[in-house]
């Protein structure tokens, strides 16, 4: 058997020069992924990164595993085919808000609803970066860009709500400059069996600089974000006295210690609750903090296993041999 080789972050760094704009949030995401990979205990030859088109899609060149740089929006389709034929591989998809939600929206929906066992990193900078600053499906209302000089009139899509609506079995959100939080989410994704997607707020310092400053600035982030932790009440704020409770179907901010409010009145997060709760919290509105963490993590049948079971059941009904046993039975066989 030989000795087990312990991998390090350096083992997942390719020999390619990393070429993003200086200061781009993609560097931080790449570093976090390379940090997590050796902790998974999976050989590099059993890991594949598949990307579409966009700044984020350079990713496969920079991580020392198998990789595939596909065409615009089609990475989920390629990943589905690979996972179906090689279920032993761990398959990651790297995409952006434009690549996944615009031209790739159809493929994104179906890889999630089918519960294909792939891990999707969706970099969201709310702009088209590679094609030089047009508004994207995630750009906020009124956004002025080269393609919307008078401000966007389109309501933005929420990647988390889209994923929840497609019945993804694992949905999360993190930010590029919080490596501890992002790496924790990545580890949970890697352990999850089924479709897993994390929206990563990523700063484009050329075309949309500062889009997430209130959520990442040390002076404000404790008041503008709330961490979703399974089994814990939703508490936030610099002094830890603010919380979120449900008023009917409406989340609202309350202050612990005022008007008789205690921690017992707060919403306790449940990542296994019906998706409706996660949907409510995914885009809570301007008066509430932005949730970061795992919105949903549930188990349901995985696509490639369902497909194999169906194929074997049909063959048994027809009196045919199990295809896997047949393929591994010997050098030759006879088909009558």
Quick one: average pLDDT of 101-128? Answer: 97
Give per-residue pLDDT as tens, 274-324: 999 999 999 888 889 999 999 999 999 999 999 888 888 887 777 766 666
Q: Using the predicted structure, report yes or no on whether residue 200 has a pLDDT greater than 70.
A: yes
Residue 324: the pLDDT is 64
The answer to whether 77 and 154 are in contact (CB under 8 A) is no
Chain mean pLDDT for the chain: 93
Average pLDDT of the segment spanning 138-153: 95
* pLDDT > 50? residue 1: no
pLDDT, tens digit, 9 for 90 and up, residues 28-60: 999 999 999 999 999 999 999 999 999 999 999
**In the chain, % of residues over pLDDT 90:** 87
Pick 90 or 321 by higher pLDDT. Answer: 90
User: What pLDDT score was predicted for residue 308?
Assistant: 86
Give the model confidence (pLDDT) of 177-196 as tens digits. 999 999 999 999 999 999 99
Domain range summary for the chain, segments of one domain joined by +: 9-211
CATH classification (class only), 9-211: alpha beta
Regarding pTM above 0.85, the answer is yes
């Amino acid at each position: 058997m030989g000795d087990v080789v312990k991998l390090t972050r350096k083992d997942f760094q390719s020999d390619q020069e990393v070429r993003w704009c200086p200061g781009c949030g993609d560097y931080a995401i790449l570093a976090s992924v390379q940090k997590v990979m050796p902790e998974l205990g999976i050989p590099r030859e059993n890991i594949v990164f598949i990307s579409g088109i966009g700044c984020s899609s350079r990713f496969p060149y920079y991580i020392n595993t198998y990789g595939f740089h596909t065409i615009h929006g089609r990475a989920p389709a390629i990943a589905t085919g690979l996972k179906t034929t090689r279920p032993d591989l761990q398959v990651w998809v790297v995409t952006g808000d434009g690549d996944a939600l615009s031209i790739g929206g159809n493929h994104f929906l179906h890889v999630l609803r089918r519960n294909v066992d792939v891990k999707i990193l969706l970099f969201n900078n709310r702009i088209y970066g590679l094609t030089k600053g047009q508004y994207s499906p995630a750009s906020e209302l009124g956004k002025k860009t080269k393609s919307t000089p008078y401000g966007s009139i389109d309501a933005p899509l929420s990647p988390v709500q889209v994923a929840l609506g497609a019945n993804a079995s694992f949905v999360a959100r993190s930010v590029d400059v919080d490596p501890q939080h992002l790496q924790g989410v990545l580890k949970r994704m890697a352990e999850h069996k089924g479709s897993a997607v994390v929206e990563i707020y990523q700063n484009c310092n050329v075309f949309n600089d500062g889009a997430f400053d209130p959520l990442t600035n040390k002076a404000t982030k404790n008041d503008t974000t709330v961490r979703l932790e399974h089994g814990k009440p939703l508490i936030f704020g610099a002094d830890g006295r603010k919380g979120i409770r449900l008023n009917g179907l409406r989340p609202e901010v309350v202050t612990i210690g005022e008007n008789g409010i205690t921690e017992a009145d707060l919403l306790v997060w449940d990542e296994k609750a019906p998706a409706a709760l996660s949907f409510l919290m995914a885009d809570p509105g301007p008066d509430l903090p932005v949730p970061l963490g795992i919105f949903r993590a549930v188990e349901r049948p995985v696509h490639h296993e369902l497909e194999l079971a169906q194929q074997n059941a049909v063959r048994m009904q027809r009196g045919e041999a199990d295809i896997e046993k047949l393929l591994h039975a010997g050098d030759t066989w006879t088909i009558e």
